[in-house]
Amino acid sequence: MFQRFPFHLLRRVTSGGAVLGELDGLRAVAILPVVLFHATLSIYLKGAEGQVSMITGDGAVFRSPLGWIVANGFLGVQLFFVISGFVVVLPFARARLLGVGAGGRAPSLSRFFLKR
């Protein structure tokens, strides 16, 4: 079934050509609790206009390991910000430590902001 899926369309292309697969895995770990948090809110909290909520006052739905992940979904957002900061700083740190940037030229803040 998956043999015909065009996975090559999902690959990222980076300016330096290098991809850290571990960071993509860590991004998935960061995104999962956020998605679960929002899915749980949409399922259990039916709306803001006085509709009935399925969450009881004692919060029993959050007492399982999965419930802990859902209740602390905001930690995924913080982890994602840390990963983003690492990715932004990496070319500058590499140039400082190794003396060269991607493509043989040193990174530049002006080029960085112009690309955004």
pTM for the predicted model, two decimal places: 0.63
Percent of the chain residues topping a pLDDT of 70: 66
- In whole angstroms, give the CA distance from residue 73 to residue 30: 9
Amino acid in position 95: A
Bridge partners of residue 45, in order along the sequence: 53
Which tens digit of pLDDT belongs to each residue from 37-70?
Answer: 888 776 666 555 555 455 555 555 667 777 788 7
Q: Is the dihedral of CA 24, 30, 36, 42 positive or negative?
A: negative
Q: By 3-state DSSP, what share of the chain in percent is helix, strand and coil, each rounded to 5?
A: 65, 0, 35
